[in-house]
Amino acid sequence: MTDAEERNSEGISSYGRRKKVVRKETRLGLSHGKDEDFGKWYSEVLVNSEMIGYYDISGCYIIRHWAVVIWDIMKEFFDKEIEEMEVEKCMFPLFVTSAVLQKEKTHVAGFEPEVAWVTKAGKSDLDVDLAIRPTSETVIYPYFSKWIRNHHDLPMKVNQWCNVVRWEFSNPMPFIRSREFYWQEGHTAFATKEEADAEVSEILELYRQIYEEFLAVPVIKGKKSELEKFAGALYTCSIEAFIPNTGRGIQGATSHCLGQNFSAKEFFDITFQNEKRRRTVFGRIPGPTIGVMVMVHGDDKGLVLPPKVASQQVIVIPVPYRDANTQEIFDACAATVKTLRKAGIRANVDKRDYHTPGWKYSYWEMKGVPLRIEIGPKDLTNNQVRAVRRDNGAKMDLSMVSLVEQVKELLDKIQESLFDSAKQRRDACIQVARTWDEFVEALGQKKLILAPWCDEEEVEKDVKERTKGDTGAAKTLCTPFDQPEMHEGTKCFASGKLAKKWSYWGRSY
């Protein structure tokens, strides 16, 4: 959906048939239900909650304040953690020469069709075409060889947050599949494989924390199949999320062990004698993160934000009545915000006098603020406020006396119950399939399929071939670290050969 399409959809949103009256008044309602038309619902939520602005170049989006803040909160957490791991910050250039990009053949093959090329500056042609980084392995590793002069310089660990570009031609989708996107990429080098392996899991655990503890999205930790691993990696680990509405898995973040693929050969040989002992690892948390959170928690009223990442955790709304002292109510709201802020709670008041309280309720529901506090004349009299949870609509009166404690407790509860409820819905989608028929049936029902597998690449290719269709082929999502028991003699669901492991299968983004 480009700019123009968005304007049309806004038109529909304001003047469409469903809940016409409300939307005409508020211009806030969604014209598409989450279960009705998931794709349109998703776009509408992102635009109406002011997370995303559509742009006049397809696949490029404006990330607005409401989303940037979430990104920054994750960044702050991650940066603090990796600082303790002595990871250094860096900012590598946006451009790569074609020669450097070509150095790692198997690696680059995966990106080549999507690389954006700068060929002109002003009116002059450049001597050499420059690629915009689709990822930074070939940009960074040559410099590792310069900077690592002997074993004292190991381990070397660098990390950057940056924009990368992949000119995908399939259907773009904000956060999920965009041509320019933002991510974090960490690149490290160690003397031993043991250290490298440890780093892979340590970083993967941080990614799990971001998804489960910040975004309240349950994920599965596991290893990618040979077919699905990162081009050029020894092995790839990932965390996998699942979107029940579409029955699709989505790779949440990856952590790779590159072995000596990028290091030992042309780069490191130059300066480093003790070869055969360098291992490189890196991890990345990609753009989709926020999109997954929106898809998992959002509802027909709009966005639902987990308190830990919400730019505003509490919105205070004055509810004046005709015969009441309005000023007193506005003052009480301001004082409440001050009290909450002092306690480190991200609170604000909606003091706009040209909107009704009802309009404001809808507005902040659309924006997904976890907790709404209403203050009217009766609340003043009773020295209390009315609190309304965004996630389940529950209403309760909170005494002003212990407001901070109660609000903190409520926010914790909301965070927890968002995760629990998401996990319940995700778990309800998991279906064990032991035979091909069970597999096909479960796939038709949009399940997250757990199946015994012989772990052969040819078999995965065959499954992809046999399931391909309009909605995309099924593939392995991951082999979970947490393996169910495998009874002796269990057969692969697809090949009938002896199964070696349980793996998750499904369609994916």
Chain positions contacting its own copies, by CB under 8 A: 53, 55-57, 60-65, 68-69, 72, 88-95, 97, 100, 112-123, 129-130, 132, 142-143, 146-147, 152, 158, 162-163, 165, 167, 169, 180, 182, 352, 354
Nearer to its own copies, 163 or 483 (CB): 163
**Shortest gap between Cβ of 3 and its own copies (angstroms)?**
9
User: What span, in angstroms and rounded, lies between the C-alpha atoms of 473 and 439?
Assistant: 13
Query: Residue 417's closest CA among 389, 387, 442, 436?
Result: 389
Nearer to its own copies, 162 or 404 (CB): 162
**Shortest gap between Cβ of 263 and its own copies (angstroms)?**
17
What token pair was written down for 50? Answer: 């002011």
Cα angle: 484, vertex 485, 486; to 5 degrees:
115
Facing residues of 165 across strands? Answer: 180
Nearer to its own copies, 45 or 158 (CB): 158
Nearer to its own copies, 66 or 361 (CB): 66
**Shortest gap between Cβ of 142 and its own copies (angstroms)?**
8
Nearer to its own copies, 119 or 381 (CB): 119
User: What span, in angstroms and rounded, lies between the C-alpha atoms of 363 and 355?
Assistant: 10
What 3-state class would DSSP assign to 238? strand
**Shortest gap between Cβ of 427 and its own copies (angstroms)?**
35
Nearer to its own copies, 123 or 487 (CB): 123
What token pair was written down for 8? Answer: 């049309």
Nearer to its own copies, 39 or 93 (CB): 93
Nearer to its own copies, 169 or 481 (CB): 169
Nearer to its own copies, 351 or 497 (CB): 351
Cβ atoms 13, 30 nearer than 8 A: yes
Q: How far, in Å, are 204, 274, 369, 417 from residue 422 at the CA level? A: 21, 49, 18, 8
Residues 6+ apart with CB under 8 A from 466: none
Report the 10 Å Cβ neighbour count for 151: 12
Long-range interactions of 105-110: CB distance < 8 A, separation 24+: 106/231, 106/232, 107/137, 107/138, 107/231, 107/232, 107/261, 107/262, 108/138, 108/231, 109/231, 110/231
**Shortest gap between Cβ of 12 and its own copies (angstroms)?**
16
User: What span, in angstroms and rounded, lies between the C-alpha atoms of 29 and 12?
Assistant: 11
**Shortest gap between Cβ of 249 and its own copies (angstroms)?**
27
Nearer to its own copies, 109 or 428 (CB): 109
**Shortest gap between Cβ of 450 and its own copies (angstroms)?**
37
**Shortest gap between Cβ of 331 and its own copies (angstroms)?**
20
CA dihedral 320, 321, 322, 327 (to 10 degrees): -30
**Shortest gap between Cβ of 158 and its own copies (angstroms)?**
7
Cβ atoms 246, 122 nearer than 8 A: no
User: What span, in angstroms and rounded, lies between the C-alpha atoms of 319 and 403?
Assistant: 18
**Shortest gap between Cβ of 426 and its own copies (angstroms)?**
29
Nearer to its own copies, 15 or 321 (CB): 15
Does residue 155 have a cis peptide bond before it, meaning omega lies within 30 degrees of 0? Answer: yes
**Shortest gap between Cβ of 87 and its own copies (angstroms)?**
9
User: What span, in angstroms and rounded, lies between the C-alpha atoms of 63 and 50?
Assistant: 9
Task: State the angle between helix axes of 3-15 and 38-48 in degrees (0 to 180), rounded to the nearest 10.
Answer: 90
